[in-house]
């Protein structure tokens, strides 16, 4: 029998955390609160994960609830589907988003369809955590941003936080959700915000407002965007790492832009998008993933359909390139100050 560990469901005093610490804290809170939450994946148990996001969980909650798996992503997700149908709340980790493709059949054909195909008799409350994106010079097999694949699948929710505060609150909400959630963690900002456009993250989020994370339990509803910065000159639609890149570029250029951190790509907070674009009349979409069929294309279509008569200029889009992810040229691949700045200039000239 799994023994439940009592945990307070009260939001506590905030303290500085980086994103890894916030994710680890969320897992501690939920495992302490709900004995049905189980965590597993490659190296997540004894070692605590390659990025240490699951450190200390096995020592606290035991090997029955936190355990290592073979290198078999299809098996990891398939096991999670079976556990979820049996009443558990599995939180499997896929070590890098680049490795998730062998598990797509289980995610798409089983997890995402389970509620519908069983007429509601079974659900799949699975939260698949995975680091994604660039920032560690991992090359084409450790740096991909495949989020658009999952937003295409009916029945899946896709979440990408940009701050430690949001990472903890969104992860708790994802674990509590009764449907499968893909929870992508931008590893470029795992350890802290930027010191500059091209620099690696600094070692602490101590002086960044989003790095103040309350102790204990709190959740952030899925499907609700966050206004990272208010403005009137244009709307910038971003998520994950690109929130911080956009903030840095626009601050340097002195443009009064509104930055909307989507947080949940699907379900999308389309009401927040509409409200902002109708106010500003201009829209810039930024993401790290490849351009063609990226999630930015969906955002552009939605804005065009819903805000056409409010637009004062063509919608701009700045993305990664349609190439395999480069290793030595990683920082040139990212949307950065030059390409984003050019798009901002074009919008301001209209």
Catalytic positions, written as ranges: 142
Cα(277)–Cα(254) distance, rounded to whole angstroms? Answer: 19
Q: Is the CB of residue 162 less than 8 Å from the CB of residue 244? A: yes
Instruction: Give 329-348 as a DSSP string.
Output: THHHHS--HHHHHHHHHHHH
What is the residue whose two structure tokens read 């409010």?
A: 310
Cis peptide before 21 (omega within 30 of 0): no
Cα 192 to chain center, whole Å? 15
Cα(182)–Cα(327) distance, rounded to whole angstroms? Answer: 26
Residues 6 or more apart whose Cβ sits within 8 Å of residue 275:
none
Q: Cα dihedral angle (6, 12, 18, 23), rounded to 10 degrees?
A: 30
Give the H or E element holding residue 92: strand 89-93
To the nearest 5 percent, what fractions of the chain are helix, strand and coil? Answer: 40, 20, 40
Cα(215)–Cα(270) distance, rounded to whole angstroms? Answer: 31
Residues 6 or more apart whose Cβ sits within 8 Å of residue 106:
74, 77, 78, 80, 81
Q: Is the CB of residue 286 less than 8 Å from the CB of residue 245? A: yes
- Give the tokens for residue 212: 């103040």
Q: Is the CB of residue 114 less than 8 Å from the CB of residue 82? A: no
Q: How many CB atoms lie within 10 A of CB 350?
A: 12
Bridge partners, residue 67, by sequence? 40
Helix 242-253 and helix 337-349, axial crossing angle in degrees, nearest 10: 60
């Amino acid at each position: 029998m799994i023994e439940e560990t009592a945990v307070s469901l009260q939001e506590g005093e905030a303290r500085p955390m980086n994103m890894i610490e916030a994710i680890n804290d969320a897992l501690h809170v939920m495992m302490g609160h709900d004995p049905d939450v189980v965590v597993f994946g490659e190296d997540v148990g004894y070692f605590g994960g390659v990025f240490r996001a699951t450190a200390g969980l096995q020592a606290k909650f035991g090997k029955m609830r936190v355990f290592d798996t073979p290198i078999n992503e299809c098996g990891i997700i398939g096991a999670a589907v079976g556990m979820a149908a049996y009443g558990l709340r599995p939180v499997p980790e896929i070590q890098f988003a680049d490795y998730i493709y062998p598990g797509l059949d289980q995610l798409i054909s089983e997890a995402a369809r389970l509620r519908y195909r069983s007429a509601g008799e079974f659900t799949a409350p699975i939260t698949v955590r995975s680091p994604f994106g660039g920032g560690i010079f991992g090359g084409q097999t450790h740096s991909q941003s495949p989020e658009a694949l999952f937003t295409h699948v009916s029945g899946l929710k896709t979440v990408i936080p940009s701050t430690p505060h949001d990472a903890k609150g969104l992860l708790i909400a994802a674990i509590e959700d009764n449907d499968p959630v893909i929870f992508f963690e931008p590893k470029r900002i795992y350890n802290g915000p930027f010191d500059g456009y091209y620099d690696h993250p600094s070692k602490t989020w101590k002086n960044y407002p989003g790095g103040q994370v309350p102790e204990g339990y709190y959740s952030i509803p899925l499907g609700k965007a966050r206004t990272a910065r208010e403005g009137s000159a244009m709307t910038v639609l971003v998520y994950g790492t690109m929130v911080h890149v956009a903030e840095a570029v626009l601050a340097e250029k002195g443009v009064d832009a509104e930055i909307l951190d989507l947080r949940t790509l699907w379900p999308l907070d389309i009401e927040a998008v509409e409200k902002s674009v109708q106010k500003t009349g201009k829209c810039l979409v930024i993401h790290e993933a490849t351009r063609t069929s990226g999630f930015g294309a969906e955002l552009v279509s939605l804005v065009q359909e819903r805000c056409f008569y409010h637009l004062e200029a063509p919608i701009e889009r700045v993305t990664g390139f349609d190439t395999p992810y480069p290793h030595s040229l990683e920082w040139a691949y990212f949307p950065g100050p030059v390409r984003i700045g050019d798009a901002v200039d074009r919008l301001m000239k209209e």
